[in-house]
Structure 1
Amino acid sequence: MLANFDFDVIQRSWVYLFTTGMKFTLTLTFFAMLGGIVFGTLLAMMRLSHNKAIGFVAASYVNLIRSIPLILVIFWFYFLVPYIGAWVTGASEPIRVGAFSSALITFVLFEAAYYCEIMRSGIQSIPRGQVAAGYAIGMNYWQMMGNVVLPQAFRNMIPILLTQTIVLFQDVSLVYVLGSVPDFVSVASKIAQRDGRLVEMYLFVAVVYFAMSFGLSLLVKKLQEKVAIIR
């Protein structure tokens, strides 16, 4: 097998793969992580709200999103959002939504459900005595959350948040099915089909994803040990 393995196609293409495909993948991962954590934190606070209606809405959203395969969510947003936008704005034609914007919205809304559960666990890990003390010195809900609860929750949950981000990085490869986004897998696939070297390119993609994910996992493990020492 190795006798017919063409290393030259990898050597010719790896710079383009990283400067175009991996750049897109990492950019989408980064912004989806930021948006997902922000939206997920808001959902977590809604789920923990004493208002049952707000808690029910947040819980329903989280349970619905976590029950749907990500690939379906990608298709729905990519093909339906232009029509939904036209219906909302009253436009006569579907509103054009770029592939990157559509993918970003999809991943933010999808990953927020998972970040929500992580942040909810982090918030609930803070001793209730600290919350009571915050109220006792005159803080309102938002001051107490912003100054007492959330900083500690984020610190405690950083390793788990980063682990979920590694999963997000791997999931971004699913935008390949749209065929119109220059992510790492899509770019590698086009090169593979052009040169007739599917084995070489897909094996290279697998090695790159493994190396990056495994390396990041080791960093998260070390960070988790440091957080445990701080505790």
Structure 2
Amino acid sequence: MDFLGAYTPSHLTFLLEGFWITLQVAFLSIVFSFVIAIIVGVLRYARIPVVSRVLAVLVELIRNLPLLLIIFFTYFALPEIGIKLDKYYAAILALVIFEAAMLSEIVRSGLTSVEKGQIEAARSSGLNYVQTLWHIILPQALRRMVPPIVSQFISLLKDTSLAVIIALPELMNHAQIINGRNVNYVIPTFLLVAVMYFVVNYALSIIAKRLENKPA
């Protein structure tokens, strides 16, 4: 093991550049997947004829596919039908598709967990369905969703490493490049990569606990 050789300023800078790409991809994927998940989850909860059923089939299909396959599809298969994406956007699209399906189920479950008595009370007080959903159901459901949603976000951040398969210049890709220069860099480099992932994911878990314990 060569810690001094692995932790040179140029190597550290190179890893940080890769980690910055990882954080960008994770952030954009989180934002877009969460927005889509809210829409899909609400539509499924509303049980709109045909629409709800079609969405349920799509969600179950995507949830039961490996993320790696979806990454391959967005980068290698889409160009076959005329849609060519850069590695960066192919990775984001794959993560958004997969995570939106996972999160939408969390959203739907959170919505259905709200007691029917509160819904009936809101409707009897004069609120229509949309107002009840927006002011009564969704705020309570989102609070209950915080732990599983943040857990899914943490998984998403770790899943960005799968984009190394399409040579996206993210953290794991840069780590492999450094390791290829000297076999003695492998353990030091992967230890540092592990620490970088841990710091961000642990910070997310702390935020989740604070949000969960925050008074309504």
Structure 1 equivalent of residue 13 of structure 2: 15
Structure 2 equivalent of residue 107 of structure 1: 95
- Aligned with 2:197 (options 209, 213, 223): 209
| 1:181-196 matched pairs, under 5 angstroms | 181-196=168-183
Asked if the contact 1:189–1:202 (Cα under 8 Å) also holds between the matched residues in 2, the reply is no
Structure 2 equivalent of residue 125 of structure 1: 113
Task: Give the deviation of 1:63 after TM superposition.
Answer: 1.1
Structure 2 equivalent of residue 50 of structure 1: 47
Q: For the aligned residues, what is the CA RMSD?
A: 2.1
Moved more, 200-209 or 27-36: 200-209
- Using the alignment, how far apart are the partners of 2:211 and 2:73 within structure 1? 37
Structure 1 equivalent of residue 73 of structure 2: 76
For residues 71-123 of structure 1, what are the alpha-carbon distances to aligned partners after superposition, in whole Å with 9 as ceiling and x for unaligned? 11110111122233x2xxxxxxxx43111111111111100111112111211
TM-score after normalising by structure 1: 0.82
- Aligned with 1:165 (options 153, 167, 187): 153
Asked if the contact 2:74–2:90 (Cα under 8 Å) also holds between the matched residues in 1, the reply is yes
| 1:89-104 matched pairs, under 5 angstroms | 95-104=83-92
Task: Give the deviation of 1:138 after TM superposition.
Answer: 4.1
Q: Any stretches of 5+ residues in structure 1 without a counterpart?
A: 87-94
- Aligned with 2:188 (options 200, 209, 212): 200
- Using the alignment, how far apart are the partners of 2:23 and 2:141 within structure 1? 26
Asked if the contact 2:25–2:88 (Cα under 8 Å) also holds between the matched residues in 1, the reply is yes
Task: Give the deviation of 1:223 after TM superposition.
Answer: 3.8
Moved more, 39-48 or 126-135: 126-135
TM-score after normalising by structure 2: 0.87
For residues 147-185 of structure 1, what are the alpha-carbon distances to aligned partners after superposition, in whole Å with 9 as ceiling and x for unaligned? 222222212212221111011111111101101x21111
- Using the alignment, how far apart are the partners of 2:117 and 2:67 within structure 1? 39
Q: Secondary structure at the match of 1:48?
A: helix
The aligned length equals 214
Q: Among the aligned pairs, what percent are the same residue?
A: 32
Structure 2 counterpart of 1:57, one-letter code? V
